[in-house]
Amino acid sequence: MNFMASTQPENRLLGPQSDSQRTLYPYVTGTSVVALKYKDGILMAADMGGSYGSTLRYKSVERMKPIGKHSLLGASGEISDFQEILRYLDELILYDNMWDDGNSLGPKEVHNYLTRVMYNRRNKFNPLWNSLVLGGVKNGQKYLGMVNMIGVNFEDNHVATGFGNHLARPILRQEWHENLSFEDGVRLLEKCMRVLLYRDRSAVNKLQVDVFLKMAPNQIYSLAKLLWSLT
């Protein structure tokens, strides 16, 4: 069963010959993820599209998943790499639970773990081709961070990946404030997602929105109120 083990080849010492494991370019990709902190926690949204080059091939891809008891992970980029990251995190959470010590990994810890994984893979020239958004609440403390395929990571009150950085963040910079209510947060997020739908070619009108506080089940819906009249 060694054939199936997903590890880097041991022949790294052989130098340039050992090029066998390198993600050269992504195949099935997800576009922007947008997230913000509101009064009671975190709101995160992403569309459910999986693009294959310029074809909008898959339209029911869940790009956001809960991690452990306290966090939410959203990803853009190569979907197969995101699925692999979910497996790593599954194992991480499993081992955490097995300690059975009453403690559980919070968003800050998970974000740190992901940062190390992403940066180390980048150093080996074999990146996981994703930009990740990690948000959550533990003991009343809200946390929202981002890490991308080269290991750049930071924490902020609002984050986005891909096109979201160019289109959504300026809106968030203007309109975000401390103690946003849930309704205002949702409206702000929808405003961002609507702009992305207009201006991002790989966006799909089917959104997944997750709230991180009371583990509300995630909502999947399509945006209406799109303005096409050119007055």
Residues near other proteins, by CB under 8 A: 1, 3-6, 20-31, 50, 52-55, 57-58, 60-61, 76-80, 83-84, 129-131, 148-150, 161-162, 165
Residue written as tokens 């494991």? 21
Minimum CB–partner distance for residue 2 and other proteins (Å): 12
Upper half-sphere CA count for residue 203 (Cβ side, 13 Å):
24
Closest CB to other proteins among 132 and 171? Answer: 132
Closest CB to other proteins among 80 and 157? Answer: 80
Minimum CB–partner distance for residue 111 and other proteins (Å): 18
Closest CB to other proteins among 61 and 189? Answer: 61
Minimum CB–partner distance for residue 74 and other proteins (Å): 13
> Catalytic: 23?
yes
CA distance 228 to 231: 9
Upper half-sphere CA count for residue 171 (Cβ side, 13 Å):
21
Q: Provide the CA 102 distance to its chain's centre, in angstroms.
A: 27
Residue written as tokens 């009343």? 140
Annotated catalytic residue, options 23, 55, 115, 231? 23
Handedness of CA 160, 166, 171, 172 (dihedral sign): positive
Could you give the residue numbers annotated as active site?
A: 23
